[in-house]
């Protein structure tokens, strides 16, 4: 007899906060709030229990929150961390069931049909399954979740929302489970909910007891669907995410190759076959593995990860060539195998009135070409780092969300920007006195080696022959200090092996120029790390 279909819904509470705490577990016991938005528009989206007890609620601005709790730890919403947390959740769920649907924002559904038979010893096998899921998610993904198991996605989701441990809806009892629930759990606001409440229909059971014809004639198709849901009939199927297949192309060569150029001609044809096959599936290459069979024996394995799925053969070939120039096989090549790990090419939903969307395929190719030209960690979307040092930054994958309605241009803030000097410029500074906090009087660029010199150009990219290949020269900062504003002291990581302890000054030179300089309190050395421009 076939198993009754069962669906489990796993939900991570306060997902933006949970994803942040997964990255910063030391904050778990603190009063923390996660905010979304910029500047004065930032609003609280989630807060820890300690913060909530102090009166921090979603929707407050940072100023309002800090008024209630001055020592509140504020964190911006981190999409990268949320994506990683969602992937971790999916990894755990896929270890239980091969059919998992990613509903996003900390929620997933998995096909739990027949899984209970793995717990024959338990009094309640489904409850044991749910408990095991919650436990594994906490152990392996570092997330606290709740679970509901029912015969449909809707009932499972609402069961997960009841809280207080795993919630199991017995097969065929979905309507009974839903009956006492308020209608607002089915409908998140809207005119339909207002209309029903005005008619005195407040619970799901009240709606389910009404004749379906009467509901449909008064509320139309939306009413008919809602009535079916109230009776526990959810036609929405589980849409499992399919692990994308891999595509393999290879060739055994008639004679071993020693030249990279000749090898490039042969690999190009294989790449074209690969990309053609991926195009037929609507997929792009996200990771490309190359395995070279060497003469007389041995293998040389390389792997390239791309910033976004692409099918551009020229870009893939350039990346392969650059990689092989960097790490040569060291022996003649008698054969090769290319394995492309694909992913769905990004699609964009166009709007009639919104701004033009970027072509996802073209954007993916552009990013891959930029990576091939500049190397990794040289292109992406900038992100702020939660640290005190002003020169710190992070780069995230560039994936702008598709345009929706055109937003009005906000008024410019007219703020003065700092041009960061990377690496900082070493200075020789004459001060007024020997005190570490003494103001600077005269500055001059020195030839000391900067603490964060840029890495050498990767080998294989050729000698610099032309002026255009030379990196920017260090600016000369020399002159008498006309005005010095400061000092501002900055300390970070005192408990680490490389703590930062600096004294900052804003200076204006008599010859012109506004600079941000600092003195390292440990070494006494001076550096210029910014130009006000």
Partner 1 sequence: MMIPIMALPLALPDRFAGHVYAARELVRRKQRTTVERLTTGTRGFDALLDGGLERGGTLELLGRASSGRFSLVLAMLAATTARGEPAALIDRGSALDPQAAETAGADLPFLLWARPRDMRETLASAEIVLDVGMPLVVVELGLPPLEGGRGAEAAWLRLSRAARARHTALVVAAPYRVSGTAAGTVIEARGGRPRWHPGCSRPHAPRLLHGLDTRLVRIKQVVRATDGSSDDTGMSSLTVAEAVRNHQQQPEDRGEGHSSRRRPDTATTHAVA
Q: Taking CB under 8 A as the criterion, which residues in 29-58 touch partner 1?
A: 38-39
Shortest reach from residue 268's CB to partner 1, in Å: 20
With CB under 8 A as the contact rule, the residue among 398, 438, 460, 479 that binds partner 1 is: 398
* Shorter beta-carbon distance to partner 1: residue 203 or 345: 345
Asked if residue 330 binds partner 1 (CB under 8 A), the reply is no
Minimum Å gap between C-beta 374 and partner 1 is 6
Q: Does residue 63 belong to the site contacting partner 1 (CB under 8 A)? A: no
Count of residues interacting with partner 1 (CB under 8 A): 74
Cα 132 off chain centre by: 27
Q: Is 395 in the site for partner 1 (CB under 8 A)?
A: yes
- Does residue 21 sit in helix, strand or coil? helix
Kindly write out the interface string for residues 464-493 of this chain, putting x where it contacts partner 1 by CB under 8 A and - elsewhere. Answer: x-xxxxxxxx-x-------xxx--------
**C-beta closer to partner 1: residue 336 or 515:** 515
Least CB distance from residue 399 to partner 1, whole Å? 7
Q: List 292's β-bridge partners, or say none.
A: 300, 336
Cβ proximity to partner 1: between 10 and 507 the closer is 507
Binding mask 212-251 for partner 1 (x = CB under 8 A): ----------------------------------------
Only segment of 139-147, 163-171, 285-293, 463-471 that touches partner 1 (CB under 8 A): 463-471
- How many other CB atoms are there within 10 angstroms of residue 182's CB atom? 13
For every residue of 471-525, DSSP letters joined together read: PPPPPP--EEEEEEEEEEEEEE-TTSSS-EEEEEEEEEETTS-EEEEEEETTT--
Applying CB under 8 A, which of residues 457, 480, 489, 493 lies at the interface with partner 1?
A: 457
> In angstroms, rounded to a whole number, what is the distance separating the alpha carbons of residues 491 and 23?
22
* Of 4-12, 236-244, 340-348, 505-513: span binding partner 1 (CB under 8 A): 505-513
- Told to check if 400 binds partner 1 by CB under 8 A, we report yes
- The reply on whether position 326 binds partner 1 by CB under 8 A is no
Q: Which of 233, 508, 520, 521 binds partner 1 (CB under 8 A)?
A: 508
Q: Of residues 68-97, which lie at the interface with partner 1 (CB under 8 A)? A: 79
Q: Are 68 and 54 in contact (CB under 8 A)?
A: yes
Residues 6+ apart with CB under 8 A from 105: 15, 82, 86
b/e code 356-388 from CB counts within 10 Å (16+ = b): ebeebbebbbbbbbbbbeeeeeebbeeeeeeee
The least CB distance from residue 529 to partner 1, in Å, is 10
232: left (phi over 0), alpha (psi -120 to 50) or beta: left
User: Rule CB under 8 A: which of 359-378 touch partner 1?
Assistant: 359, 362-363, 366, 369-370, 373-374, 378
Q: Which of 489-503 are b and which e, b meaning 16 or more Cβ less than 10 Å from the residue's Cβ?
A: eeeeeeeeeeebbbb
Contact pattern from residue 333 through residue 362 relative to partner 1, giving x for each residue in contact according to CB under 8 A and a dash for the rest = ----------------------xx-xx--x
Q: Quick one: which segment of 20-28, 160-168, 213-221, 389-397 binds partner 1 (CB under 8 A)?
A: 389-397
Question: Residue 9's CB: how many other CB atoms inside 10 A?
Answer: 28
Cα–Cα distances in angstroms (integers) from residue 526 to residues 452, 488, 489, 516, in the given order: 14, 14, 14, 11
Q: How far apart are CA 15 and CA 142, in angstroms?
A: 12
Shortest Cβ distance from residue 421 to partner 1 (Å)? 8
Interacting residues with partner 1 between 402 and 441 (CB under 8 A): 403-404, 406-410, 412-422
| CB closer to partner 1, 328 vs 419 | 419
Residue 380 in the binding site for partner 1 (CB under 8 A): yes
CB burial of residue 100 (10 Å; 0-12, 13-18, 19+): buried
């Amino acid at each position: 007899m076939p198993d009754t279909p069962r669906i489990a819904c796993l939900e991570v509470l306060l997902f933006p906060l949970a994803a942040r705490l997964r990255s910063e577990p030391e904050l778990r016991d603190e009063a923390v709030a996660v905010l979304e938005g910029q500047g004065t528009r930032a609003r609280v989206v989630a807060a820890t229990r300690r913060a909530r007890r102090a009166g921090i609620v979603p929707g407050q601005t940072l100023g309002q929150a800090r008024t209630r709790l001055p020592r509140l730890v504020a964190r911006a919403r981190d999409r990268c961390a949320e994506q990683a947390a969602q992937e971790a959740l999916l990894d755990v769920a896929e270890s239980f069931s091969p059919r998992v649907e990613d509903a996003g924002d900390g929620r997933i559904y998995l096909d739990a049909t027949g899984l209970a038979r793995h717990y024959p010893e338990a009094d309640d096998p489904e409850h044991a399954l749910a408990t095991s899921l919650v436990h594994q998610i906490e152990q392996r993904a570092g997330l606290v979740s709740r679970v509901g198991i029912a015969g449909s996605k809707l009932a499972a989701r609402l069961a997960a929302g009841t809280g207080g441990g795993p919630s199991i809806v017995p097969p065929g009892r979905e309507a009974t489970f839903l009956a006492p629930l308020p209608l607002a759990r089915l409908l998140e606001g809207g005119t339909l909910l207002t209309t029903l409440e005005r008619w005195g229909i407040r619970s799901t059971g009240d709606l389910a007891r009404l004749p379906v014809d009467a509901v449909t004639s008064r509320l139309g198709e939306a009413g008919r669907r809602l009535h079916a849901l109230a009776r526990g009939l959810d036609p929405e199927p589980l849409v499992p995410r399919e692990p994308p297949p891999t595509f393999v192309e290879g060739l055994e060569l008639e004679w071993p190759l020693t030249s990279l150029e000749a090898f490039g001609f042969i690999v190009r044809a294989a790449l074209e076959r690969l990309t053609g096959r991926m195009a037929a599936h609507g997929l792009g290459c996200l990771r490309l593995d190359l395995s070279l069979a060497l003469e007389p024996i041995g293998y040389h394995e390389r792997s390239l990860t791309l910033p976004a799925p692409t099918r551009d053969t020229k870009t893939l070939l350039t990346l392969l060539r650059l990689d092989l120039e960097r790490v040569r096989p060291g022996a003649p090549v008698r054969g090769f195998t290319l394995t492309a790990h694909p992913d769905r090419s990004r699609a964009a939903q166009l709007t009639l009135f919104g701004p033009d969307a970027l072509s996802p395929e073209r954007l993916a190719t552009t990013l891959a070409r930029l990576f091939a030209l500049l190397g990794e960690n040289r292109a992406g979307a900038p992100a702020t780092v939660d640290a005190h040092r002003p020169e710190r930054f992070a780069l995230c994958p560039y994936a702008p969300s598709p345009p929706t309605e055109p937003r009005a241009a906000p008024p410019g803030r007219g703020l003065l920007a700092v041009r960061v000097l990377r690496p900082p410029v070493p200075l020789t500074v004459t001060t007024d006195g020997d005190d570490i906090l003494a103001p600077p009087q005269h500055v001059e660029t020195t030839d000391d080696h900067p603490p964060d010199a840029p890495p050498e150009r990767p080998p294989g990219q050729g000698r610099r022959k032309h002026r255009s290949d030379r990196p920017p020269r260090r600016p000369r900062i020399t002159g008498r200090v006309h005005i010095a504003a400061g000092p501002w002291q900055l300390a970070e990581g005192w408990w680490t092996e490389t703590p930062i302890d600096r004294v900052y000054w804003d200076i204006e030179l008599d010859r012109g120029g506004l600079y941000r300089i600092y003195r390292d309190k440990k070494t006494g050395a001076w550096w210029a790390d910014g130009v006000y421009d």
